[in-house]
């Protein structure tokens, strides 16, 4: 029974240690995922327009255009843009889309696209990479034909290997926009999520969003520009609330906070499990040797050498540890087989419960 406990302790510790190692590796790789824009040097803040005098679309467009002109004139400001949804956060708007000349057949599944409404200059401020075509321009006004940028995910889903430039996509069931450019995918909802199909529309042409995020690229530390940027925006209208002021790097860290916390907790439990396993193996081995004190004494009295006695004691520990390693390999293989139906955490809980029951017995 003692050897069984030693083997089980080693197996459980290895499972937890390998799991923690995989989580640490995943978290490390997550920090190096390309979000689709340059986060360094970006300041973000949310501007929420109240009703009343901002009901008309032209007034809203002029307000955000004034923000870009005034903030862009500040010393140390490299670029300014506005967008309806902040990257790496959740709660974005999405809608069904179709290609204008390819209406869906009856029963054919429909596809969704995320909707982003931006002021011209946003892509340059974010550092978004243009794959083909052109970016949105100041000439894309409300009285001009509706246009859209699409990301690579939407281009692949809607047009495959074909050229999307000049094609018309329909959004919301009524809004037809001509594709003028394709941009690199930008992560939405977190770095651990695949970039969804996304249509980027010109805010002057579809300005129904009352709240917009103002994105400011600075030459130095973005936090040093918070006061002058907020003051400049407040000069336009002191009654407009400005919230969620943060650097894009802070937003980036927040999007991976849950992953880092999970990794830290799991690694802590793995370290505790290793420590308990070491203490347990030592305790069981010590107890086993104390029970064999009389036997060892007789062997020594009959001429058994000290090295032989030590070798036998060590072998009594090595064999259960080896069995524990083999048991871990078996558990790892079993988990690979049943991983489609069982979560790793559930498997660890089952192992821990079994261990407690065996130890209690």
Do 121 and 198 lie in one domain? The reply is yes
The stretch 263-291 carries a mean pLDDT of 71
Per-residue pLDDT, averaged over 132-147, amounts to 93
Which DSSP string corresponds to 3-19? Answer: HHHHHHHHHHHHHHHHH
| Residue 36 included in any domain | no
What is the pLDDT at residue 253?
Answer: 82
* pLDDT per position as a tens digit, 173-185: 899 999 999 999 9
Q: Is the dihedral of CA 135, 137, 141, 145 positive or negative?
A: negative
Q: Are residues 176 and 196 in the same domain?
A: yes
**Per-residue tokens: 55:** 């009901």
Q: What is the pTM of this model?
A: 0.71
Identify whether residues 214 and 266 lie together within a single domain: no
Residues 61 and 79 in one domain: yes
Percent of the chain with pLDDT over 90: 39
Domain boundary pick from 255, 271, 303? 255
Residue 145 is predicted with a pLDDT of 94
What number of other Cβ atoms are within 10 A of residue 194's Cβ?
A: 9
Q: Are residues 126 and 154 in the same domain?
A: yes
143 and 8 within one domain: no
> Using CA atoms, how far apart are residues 137 and 133, in angstroms rounded to an integer?
12
Quote the domain boundaries for residue 280: 2-30+258-360
- For residue 318, the model assigns a pLDDT of 64
In a domain, 170, yes or no: yes
pLDDT band, residue 244 (cuts 50/70/90):
very high
76 and 100 belong to one structural domain: yes
Q: What is the CA radius of gyration of the chain?
A: 31
pLDDT at residue 28, rounded to an integer: 72
Condensed to tens digits (0 to 9), the pLDDT of residues 87-118 reads 888 777 889 899 887 777 666 677 889 999 99
Query: Is the domain of 251 the same as that of 182?
Result: yes
The Cα–Cα gap between 239 and 9 comes to: 64
Phi first, then psi: give them for residue 211, nearest 5 degrees: -115, 135
CB 276 within 8 A of CB 9: yes
- How far is it, in rounded angstroms, from Cα 148 to Cα 114? 12
One domain, residues 280 and 173: no
Domain count for the chain, please give it.
Answer: 2
How far apart CA 151 and CA 211 sit, in angstroms, is: 23
Q: Higher confidence at residue 157 or residue 323?
A: 157
> Which residues on neighbouring strands pair with residue 32, listed in sequence order?
none
Q: For residue 124, is pLDDT > 70?
A: yes
Kindly give, in sequence order, each residue whose CB lies less than 8 Å from that of residue 26, ignoring residues fewer than 6 positions away: 259, 263
Write the DSSP symbol of residue 189: S
Same domain, 131 and 15: no
Residue 90 per-residue DSSP state: S
In a domain, 72, yes or no: yes
Same domain, 19 and 160: no
């Amino acid at each position: 029974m003692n050897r069984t406990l030693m083997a089980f302790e080693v197996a459980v510790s290895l499972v937890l240690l390998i799991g923690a190692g995989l989580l640490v590796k995943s978290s490390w790789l997550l920090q190096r995922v390309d979000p689709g824009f340059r986060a360094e040097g970006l300041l973000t803040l949310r501007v929420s327009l109240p009703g009343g005098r901002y009901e008309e679309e032209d007034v809203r467009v002029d307000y955000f255009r004034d923000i870009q002109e005034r903030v862009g004139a500040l010393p140390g400001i490299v670029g300014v843009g506005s967008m309806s949804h902040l990257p790496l956060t959740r709660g974005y708007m999405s809608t069904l889309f179709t290609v204008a000349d390819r209406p869906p057949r009856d029963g054919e599944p429909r596809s969704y696209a995320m909707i982003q409404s931006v002021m011209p200059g946003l892509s340059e401020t974010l550092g978004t990479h243009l794959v083909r075509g052109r970016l949105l321009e100041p000439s894309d006004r409300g009285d001009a034909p509706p246009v859209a940028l699409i990301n690579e995910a939407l281009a692949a889903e809607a047009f495959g290997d074909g050229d999307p430039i000049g094609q018309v996509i329909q959004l919301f069931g009524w809004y037809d926009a001509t594709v003028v450019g394709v941009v690199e995918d930008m992560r939405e909802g977190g770095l651990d999520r695949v970039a969804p199909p996304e249509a980027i529309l010109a805010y002057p042409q579809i300005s129904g969003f009352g709240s917009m995020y103002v994105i400011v690229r600075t030459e130095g530390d973005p936090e040093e520009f918070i006061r002058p940027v907020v003051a400049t925006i407040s000069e336009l209208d002191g009654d407009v609330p400005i919230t969620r002021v943060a650097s894009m790097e802070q937003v980036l860290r927040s999007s991976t906070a849950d992953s880092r916390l999970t990794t830290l907790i799991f690694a802590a439990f793995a370290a505790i499990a290793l420590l308990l396993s070491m203490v347990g193996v030592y305790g069981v081995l010590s107890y086993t040797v104390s029970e064999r004190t009389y036997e060892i004494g007789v062997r020594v009295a009959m001429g058994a050498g000290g090295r032989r006695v030590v070798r036998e004691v060590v072998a009594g520990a090595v064999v259960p540890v080896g069995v524990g390693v083999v048991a871990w390999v078996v558990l790892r293989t079993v988990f690979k087989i049943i991983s489609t139906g069982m979560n790793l955490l559930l498997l660890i809980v089952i192992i821990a419960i079994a261990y407690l029951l065996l130890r209690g017995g």
